Amino acid sequence: MPMPTERLRDDAPSLARAARILRAGGLVALPTETVYGLAANARDDRAVARIFAAKERPRFNPLIVHLPDAAAARELVLWNDTADRLAAAFWPGALTLVLPLKEEHGLSPLVTAGLPTVALRVPAHPLARAVLRESGLPLAAPSANPSGRISPTTAAHVLAGLDGRIDAVLDGGPCAVGVESTILGLAEGGGARPALLRPGGIPAEALSAALGQPLAAAPASPETAPNAPGQLASHYAPDAPVRLNASAAREGETLLGFGPVDCAVNLSPSGDLVEAAARLFDCLHALDAMGAGAIAVSPIPETGLGRAINDRLRRAAAPRL
Ligand code: TXA
Ligand code: MG
């Protein structure tokens, strides 16, 4: 049943309103530095269930829990030295850590999909931090888009996908990073190497430099097998089909460029990966809005943020269900 979606802004009454909605079990889309998240009280089963309903997620994927600081994380999980070093270096920021849950964690089992681990992140965006502070709640928040579609990096993107399905959206302008957080698995115990479960806003190179060792590859699964296109679930998908590593557009295609190429929409004419990540989802939304029939994408180098960009583009190009 459609509901009116409140538009909230960056002011004290709006922040208080967002916190009140969340405490009452409602859904608020809010800006983080990576993408907009669809937040709910992570301790409330009904509220978390509403996230899956609003996004029409086909499966109960586990969700990331957003917290104000590392101290709040330590209350929920079995913390270790590696987590300590990473949190000191990268929180608040675009890094999510997967750690074993303590027994008395109090989170809804829907958040963890029944796993003995949980994904935790301390976001840097001032509005996300303000809502965490005002509400006093751990907030479960996947990206605020219908399941399988392009992630939102503006409040307008959120409304395009979820208007009438969520209680409110808090407008904090465009997201600075533009791709989701990097997810590291630390659940194997102190001795094991951290595993890169999803490339994202913090480059893998920066993480291995901070740790003084290379990251382990993620265990193969449909969610985390970026090099096996046949196994990839379609995700981040625009309306049009997507062809990667294109040197030029073919008949009927619109080129999404990178670097100095002749094209309608360019991720970064100067070939800057940080700019390209920040613009990625907005460019895909723009290509949909232009009515592009088919999208060809320039090659993007597989280094730094290029890994996260290529991961999202491979999923956008994966066969649709
Ligand atoms: O930047 C971000 O991470 C954004 C913003 C809103 O914070 N959130 C986000 O959430 O991307 P979502 O739900 O779209 O992605 C969550 C990912 C999923 O791929 C899920 O499989 C993984 O986190 N995940 C969650 N809990 C996990 C766990 N216990 N073990 C392994 N992976 C987990
Ligand atoms: Mg998502």
Residue with the smallest CA separation from ligand 1 atom 6 is 37
In this prediction, the residues of the chain whose per-residue pLDDT falls under 70 are 1, 189-191, 220-232, 321
Which is nearest to 74 in space by CA: 128, 122, 19, 123?
122
Sign of CA dihedral 260, 178, 83, 117: negative
Q: Which two tokens stand for residue 313?
A: 């583009």
Query: What would the DSSP string read from start to end of 50-68?
Result: HHHHHHT-SS----EEE-S
Enter the pTM of the model. 0.93
Q: Looking at the CA of 142, which ligand is closest?
A: 1
Cα(61) to centroid(ligand 1), Å: 8
Identify residues whose C-beta is under 5 A from ligand 2, the ion. Answer: 143
Instruction: Please answer whether residues 208 and 47 qualify as being in contact, where contact means their C-beta atoms are separated by less than 8 angstroms.
Output: no
Q: Which two tokens stand for residue 120?
A: 């935790």
Ligand 1, pocket residues at CB < 6 Å: 32, 34-35, 37, 61-64, 96, 98, 112, 115, 117-119, 121, 141-143, 180-181, 183, 197-198, 223
List, for residues 67-109, the tens digit of each pLDDT value.
Answer: 999 999 999 999 999 999 999 999 999 999 999 999 989 999 9
Q: Residue 62 and residue 29: Cα distance in Å, rounded?
A: 18
Instruction: Please answer whether residues 300 and 313 qualify as being in contact, where contact means their C-beta atoms are separated by less than 8 angstroms.
Output: yes
Among residues of the chain, what percentage have pLDDT more than 90? 87
Which is nearest to 111 in space by CA: 136, 132, 85, 138?
138
Residue 183 CA: which ligand 1 atom is closest? 23
List, for residues 158-181, the tens digit of each pLDDT value.
Answer: 999 999 999 999 999 999 999 999
